[in-house]
Structure formats: structure tokens, C-alpha cells
Chains A and B, each alone.
Chain A
């Protein structure tokens, strides 16, 4: 449409991400880590008086386990961050997670795969990750080509992909235990579990993508002001497609990490994961409206939620209260964020 656009484009990001780290932005970015520290202190102190367990809350093994348990939702939440920075949302990640898990476990029982021995493992991973990428690409293409809102597209495919999960194996669980795989998943390298390494690796890669590549900067620009991005010559569609493929890949990676160890998947697995992931992302300060957010803060959000789950259990609260507390904290964060970031040009209040 506009071939005449001059080459050096002052993309809207330039003016928006690094320099505009105002006081409130810094506060919001750091706030989630402050909250994490607060949780650690609270549960350590409260645990002294309330805990039934002998070990301290800040026990190293406990913390390492916490990181490991954060990995499945965490990897998905990291992908969700990018989708949301781009101004979209993906509700189908839970179903993608389940379908990739089924492909992972089932593919290892195929005759030619079984004949390959342990060499089947990388191939099974490839199949599972490929499934995720394809499912993500379907979402991305529909969003791009039809112009239907991502919320509706992925709401539909959440149902559709779940249907595929059921069609694969009926209502039966799909199981396959490969002990080499289990050993790998349970291994610890430099003290950290395999799942934790995957989580941290994802953080690193995505952080580099979002802060050091053209794709990342364009994703911010599109989420911030799509029209301006289009006028600046950014092709919106391909970026949507890439990001949806990325989150599909990450949902599959999350399944690979989780099911390598557990070896059995139910057709209902992964339900509501999308909502947990979104919760973590929002806690990390990413805006639903797009254009703003950070990978590192999402990691903070993921850890904060996991700490809360573990901590409440540690001080003897019922598991029921966890849901209540997380829900209320989410709303409180939204409220605080609004109060702190209120600008002069706020909509009028009635």
C-alpha cells in the first residue's frame, strides 16, 4: 500500500519503550518482585508459628521444587506475554497443551518409533512441538486472514482443539512411560531440575526476542498503536502469525516438559491453563490492551502465584483459600495499577 515510505522509520516503539521508563513504569516492573520478596518474608515468619512441617519455608530444596512446579504454566505464560503485548489473547493454549502431550506420548508407541529405541525420544518431541506450532499457526492464520478478534478465534479453537484431543483417543487416558525420558525429566543439572532449565531457557530466549530483535520491537509497536504501526510500514499479519506459532510451540514445550515425567495424559488435562497463564501475565504488569509488558515481570508473576500456592499450603491454609486469595490479589493489582498509573488525561469519572 505504501511503497513510498522512506527507509528509516521512527517506529513508535522508539519513543515508547526504553526512554519512557517513568517512575511508575519502573515501580510496576519492580513491583512484582517486591511482592515475591514480601511473600517469602511473610511465609517464612508466619511458617514459624503456623507450620506443621519442620523444615523452613526458605529451604533450598523447597525453592528448587517451586521453580520446577512453576515451569508448565510459566512457559505458557511467557508466550502469553508476547501475545498480549501484541494486543491479542490466546484462550486455546490449554487444549494445545493437551493435544501436544497426547502426540508426544502416543507417537512413541508407533511401530517404527518403537523400533528406534531411545532415538524415538527426540523424534517424539519434534512431533509434539510440531503439533503445537501447527495449531498456533491455524489460530494465527485465522486471526490474520479473517480479521476476527483473537479472543473469539481462540475461544472457538479452545473448543475445537479440545474436541480433537477427545477424538484422538476417546475418553481414555493416553499413557506411555519411557524410563530414559523419565530419568531425563527428573535429572538435576547444577542443582536445577530439567523443567527449571527449560523455563529459564525460555525466559532468556524470549527476553532476547522481545528486547533485541526487530520482531520484538514491532510486536510492541503493533500492540501499542496498530494504525501507527501499519502507517510505519510494519506488516501486522505476519507478526501475528509468528507470535501465535510461538505460543503454540511454547504450549507444546510445556507439555513436553511436564509429560516426559508423568507419562499419562487425560483428555481433560490443561483445562483452565489459559486462565492461569493470563493471571500470571497480568500480575506481572502486562497490559491487556497491548503495547506494554515484559518477559521478566511475567516470570515474577508466575513465581508469585506458585509461592502463594505453596506458602498457603505451608502455613496450613486449606487449598480452597488459594483460589480465593489469588482471585482477590488479581483484582487488587488491577486496582492499584490503575490508581498508580492514572494520568491527567483520564476518562471522565462519574
Chain B
């Protein structure tokens, strides 16, 4: 009997472990401090997680396709700086599409290198992390970028506005999540992403255009980064060159926390959203019980290791690794 329930609980934890952990976590913190599940607090947390969240959605595609993207942080700095600069020269209506076009060009370049030239994605995006940071600095001349007339522009809508009481960043995050979730789970393209990440050679033999699929995952990632950059720029209406620095690894942490395997072929948009929310609520919950913001790093560390460990342990059906 115990074996049965153990297997049942183990199976549930393996499949929906992260969701279970999330619910338990929320309940514990809600009991510790009722303000935690206050509607204002919840909406505040989601709003501040939205930028990281949108980036994580794109990286989910890349990771499911069996690659990595370490360049999203500096690419986000790039799009933020570019859109702020173009806002004053071209006006907001032209600045936004121009910024999207430039960011997509960067994504296409990475996609070409990884997809068509078949170069190692870790090193390519590591190189692009540095290169795009250089581009950003050259664009801005090392200066902070500010919008001249902060009160006379509608540009702040994407980061500060709200529709029917719901902040726009939350709406954009939700919209992006729904659309990308449909793309991933309901379209032929989505299935091809899983196929390429799961077993690239088999996918090739089945007639899946591997190079093009990988290329497209980077395009999607770049589009998400551009959206995140737009939200960031619009929220602050001014920015440093290093606004996205270090975010690449936080984004990856959220994606991994959601249960996507770095080997590719597994993960969902829904789980990534849960991963993002967990990171956001951990930070908020720890602040609310009076701890400093950096305690969340340690907690995140423990949670990531535990989450991935339980995942691999369930797959090999033994807790400790067989490594001698």
C-alpha cells in the first residue's frame, strides 16, 4: 500500500511537481502574511515579473529546440536603448517597429549561425552577449538614454498604462503566453520544435527542416526580447546600457524551474509561466516577511537544484545518481 501511494505521489510530483510546489509555497506564505495574496500585491508581483516572463517565453522555444540563448540579456539592453533613442528622433510610432526590425535582425543572425551553420549555441550566444553589449554601447556612446519629454508622450502606455484596471504589462505577458502556447502546442511548427529538440537526426530523416525550425526559434526569442525591451523602456522612460545584464541566466533559471530540459524536446509555455511566477513570488514573499532581497538568490538556488533533481530522479526512478 505504501508503495502504491508512494508511486502515486512520486508520479504526481514528477509530472506536476513544480505546480504542487507553487501551490504549497503560496499557501504557506499566505498564512504567514495575509497581505501576500492581496490582489494589489499579486498584480504588483506579476507586473514586475512580466518583463522577465516575456523573455522566458521566447527562450522556452529555443531550449525546447535543443539550444541555449545567453544573449537575451544584452539584446534586451540593446532594444531598450534603441527604442528610447529612436523615440526622440523618429517619434514613437516609427521607433517601435524600427526597434523590432533591428532586434529581429540580431535574432536572425544568431539563428543563421546556430540553425544553418550548426555552430554550438552556447558559444555563439555567449559571443553575441558580448558583441551586442558592444553594439549597445556604441549606439548610446556609453551614455544613459532618456526620453526628453517624459510627460508629453503616450509611449509610457506599455509599461505604466492599464486597461480596465489591469496593468498593460500583465496583459502583454498574458497575451504573449497564450499566443505562444497555442503556437507550441497546436501548430505543426510547434510539433517540429519538439521533434528537433528531442532527436534532431530522427527529425531530419522524417523530413523536418531542422535548420529552419532552429532559425525560427531564435526569431521568436528575439521578438520576445524586443517586446520585453519595449516594456522596460516604456516603464522607465530612460535607461542605462546595462539594464538587461545578467538577465540571461535568470531567464534560463525560470525556464529550467518550469521543467524544460536543457537537452531539448521537453517543456511547455505554461510551465515556464509557473517558473517565472515562482521566482517573482519567492522574491516578494521573502520581502514581505522582512528579509532582504538577496535572500531570494539562496532560496532560488535550493529550489532549482531540488526541482531538477526530483525531475531526473523520477525519470531514472532512483534518488541518488548512478555515477560511481
Contact B294 A163 (CB under 8 A): yes
CA distance A144 to B320 in the complex (A): 9
Knowing A324-B135, A331-B119 are in contact, say whether A147-B312 is a contact too (CB < 8 A). Answer: yes
Number of A residues whose C-beta is below 8 Å from B? Answer: 58
In B295-313, the 8 Å CB interface with A consists of 295-302, 304-305, 308-309, 312-313
A166-B292, A167-B295 given; A326·B130 CB < 8 A: yes
Give B263 Cβ to nearest chain A Cβ, in Å: 8
Among candidates B129, B296, B301, B313, residue contacting A275 with C-beta atoms closer than 8 Å: B129
Given A167-B295, A320-B142, A327-B128, answer yes or no on A155-B209 (Cβ-Cβ < 8 Å): no
From residue A39, how far is it (CB to closest CB) to chain B in Å? Answer: 17
Closest chain B residue to A158 by CB distance? Answer: B249
Contact B305 A325 (CB under 8 A): no
B253 within 8 A of A: yes
A144 contacts B300, C-beta separation under 8 Å: no
Any A CB within 8 A of the CB of B144: no
Asked if residues B309 and A156 are in contact (CB atoms below 8 Å), the reply is no
Which residues of chain B are near A164, meaning CB under 8 Å? 298
Residue on A nearest B305 in the bound complex, by CB: A156
A residues near B119, Cβ cutoff 8 Å:
331, 334-335, 338
The answer on a CB contact under 8 Å between B320 and A320 is: no
Contact (A331, B128) CB under 8 Å given A146-B321, A160-B301, A350-B211: yes
Shortest beta-carbon distance from A202 to chain B in Å: 23
Is A237's CB under 8 angstroms from B253's CB?
A: no
CB-defined interface of A1-29 with B at 8 Å, one 1/0 digit per residue? 10000000000000000000000000000
Instruction: Give which listed residue, B126, B138, B211, contacts A278 with CB less than 8 A.
Output: B126
CA distance A146 to B323 in the complex (A): 9
Q: Which residues of B contact A331 (CB under 8 A)?
A: 113, 119, 123-124, 127-128, 131
Tell me if A350 and B294 are in contact (CB < 8 A): no
B108-146 CB contact bits vs A (8 Å, 1 = yes)?
000001000111101110111111111101100010000
Please tell me if B201 contacts chain A, counting CB pairs below 8 Å: yes
Q: Is B322 part of the contact surface with A, judged by Cβ < 8 Å?
A: yes
Shortest A324–chain B CB gap in Å is 3
Main secondary structure of the interface of B (DSSP, over half): helix
CA distance A328 to B256 in the complex (A): 28
Residues of chain A lying within 8 A (CB to CB) of residue B256: 152, 155
Let me know if A170 is at the binding interface, CB within 8 A: yes
Min CB–CB distance B93 → chain A (angstroms): 29
Residue in A235, A318, A324, A335 whose CB lies within 8 Å of B131: A324
Please tell me if B168 contacts chain A, counting CB pairs below 8 Å: no
Distance of A17 from chain B, by nearest CB (Å): 22
Q: Is the CB of A348 within 8 A of B134?
A: no
Contact A146 B305 (CB under 8 A): yes
For residue B324, CB closer than 8 A to chain A, the reply is: yes
Nearest B residue to A330 via CB reads: B127
B134 interface neighbour in A153, A156, A321, A334, Cβ under 8 Å: A321
Chain A's nearest CB lies how many Å from the CB of B216? Answer: 14
- Give the CA-CA distance A236 to B321 in the complex, in Å: 12
Q: How many whole Å from A332's CB to the nearest CB in chain B? A: 9
**A64 CB to nearest chain B CB (Å):** 27
Residue from B118, B133, B262, B324 within 8 A of A235 (CB atoms)? B324
**Is B246 interfacial (CB-CB < 8 Å)?**
yes
B296 with A91: CB separation less than 8 A: no
Docked-complex contact B252 and A334, CB < 8 angstroms: no
Which residue of chain B is the closest to A144 with respect to CB atoms? B323
Say whether B316 faces chain A, with CB atoms less than 8 Å apart.
Answer: yes
Known: A147-B322, A170-B292, A324-B135. Is A160-B126 also a contact (CB below 8 A)? no
A160, B298: Cα distance in complex, Å = 4
A contact face: mostly helix, strand, loop, or mixed: helix
**Residue in A closest to B205 when the chains form the complex, CB atoms:** A348
Q: Which of A301-341 contact B (CB under 8 A)?
A: 318-331, 334-335, 338
Answer whether A156 and B300 are a contact pair too, CB < 8 Å, given A147-B322, A275-B126, A327-B127.
yes
A343 touches B (CB below 8 Å): no
Pair B297/A288 contact, Cβ less than 8 Å: no
CA of A330 to CA of B141, assembled, Å: 24
Shortest beta-carbon distance from A329 to chain B in Å: 8
Residue from A158, A236, A318, A327 within 8 A of B130 (CB atoms): A327
* Closest chain B residue, CB of each to CB of A236: B323
Instruction: Give bound CA distance, A268 to B249, whole Å.
Output: 15
Cβ distance A63 to chain B, nearest Cβ, rounded Å: 24
- Bound: A323/B249 CA distance, A: 19
Set of chain B residues within 8 Å of A187, measured between Cβ atoms: none
Indicate whether A323 sits within 8 Å of B133 (C-beta atoms), given known contacts A144-B323, A163-B296, A235-B324.
yes
> Which residue of B134, B204, B300 is within 8 Å of A350 (Cβ)?
B204
**Is A183 engaged at the interface, CB distance under 8 Å to the other chain?**
no
Which residues of the other chain, B, contact A157 by a CB distance below 8 angstroms?
Answer: 301
Residues of B contacting A327 with CB < 8 Å? 127-134
Contact B295 A163 (CB under 8 A): yes
| Known contacts A237-B324, A275-B126, A327-B132: A167-B309 contact under CB 8 Å | no
Q: Does A186 contact B (CB under 8 A)?
A: no
**Chain A residues near B137 (CB, 8 Å)?**
318-320, 323
B residues whose Cβ falls under 8 Å from a Cβ of A: 70, 113, 117-120, 122-124, 126-135, 137-138, 142, 201, 204, 209-211, 245-246, 249-250, 252-253, 256, 262, 292, 294-302, 304-305, 308-309, 312-313, 316, 320-324
Beyond A155-B256, A163-B301, A330-B123, 20 additional contacts (C-beta under 8 Å) are A145-B323, A146-B320, A149-B262, A155-B249, A156-B253, A156-B300, A159-B304, A163-B297, A236-B323, A240-B323, A271-B246, A275-B129, A282-B123, A320-B137, A324-B135, A327-B133, A331-B123, A334-B120, A347-B118, A350-B210
Q: Residues of A with Cβ closer than 8 Å to B?
A: 1, 91, 142, 144-149, 151-153, 155-164, 166-167, 170, 230, 235-237, 240, 271-272, 275, 278-279, 282, 288, 318-331, 334-335, 338, 347-350
- CB pairs A–B below 8 angstroms (5 shown): A146-B309, A155-B304, A236-B323, A330-B130, A349-B118
The 4 tightest CB contacts between A and B, nearest first, are A147-B321, A160-B301, A327-B131, A163-B297
